[in-house]
Amino acid sequence: MLTNHRYRRNIKDFFVGRVENDVAPSRLSVEELHDVVSECDDIVFVSQSGKQKFPGFGLTHNWVRQSIFWELPYWKTNLLRHNLDVIHIEKNVFKNIFNIVMDVKGKTKDNIKARLDIALFCNCKNMELVFDGSRVAKPRASFVLEKNTQLLVYKWLKSLCFPDGHGSNISRLVNMEECRLYGMKSHDCHMFMQILIPLAYRDLLSKGI
């Protein structure tokens, strides 16, 4: 995107129901795009000075560096430069769902920041943070399992056995002491998303969820 959208990093105005009528930014040709990113070569990234930005950043462009892929001789004429790895996306989706439902510390998206956003943009009073003097309480969401129920899920996963060649030994990946999964590969996440999630949560979460 060449132009910096006026709602970029402006969550407050983005959520007030305003209608955006601006036309889409012009699409650069391959040669034009190459000329623009080629000018980013002189940027030097030094840890002590932080991330440096190419002049015009946020006004006429949003680039901070030139991708190393532009050094490939065919990259300038490559029509499709961004491919989405479906099974990797599925892995990310699985981790987000699992970490939220199981309330995995440090991994769940249902965190303090999300609850603060709920207070600003949503009409869900039962989800808002509760301030009690010097203490802040986060009410349990309906899509989050209680601790004893989480333990039942982990115990069930620990006892699972698949037919030979159908899937890996997921029971090896269950840490009962920490109540977490470790070492989940893409195919493990695929198996969990397609087969195990409906079974694991069918009787533990409400039908709507």
What pTM value is reported for the model? Answer: 0.63
Quick check: 2 pLDDT over 90?
no
Domain ranges of the chain: 1-83, 85-105+144-209, 109-140
Which has the closest alpha carbon to 157: 134, 135, 137, 180?
A: 180
For tokens 């309480």, name the residue: 137
Average the pLDDT over 15-31 and give the result: 75
Other Cβ atoms within 10 Å of 134 Cβ, number: 5
Q: What is the pLDDT of residue 46?
A: 43
164-193 pLDDT per residue, tens: 877 788 889 999 988 899 999 998 999 899
Strands in 23-182 per DSSP E: 130-132, 135-137, 174-175, 180-181
Band of pLDDT at residue 18, cut at 50, 70 and 90: low
Q: How many CA atoms lie within 13 A of 143 on its CB side?
A: 12
Which has the closest alpha carbon to 112: 97, 123, 96, 127?
A: 127
87-120 pLDDT per residue, tens: 889 999 999 999 999 999 889 999 989 999 888 8
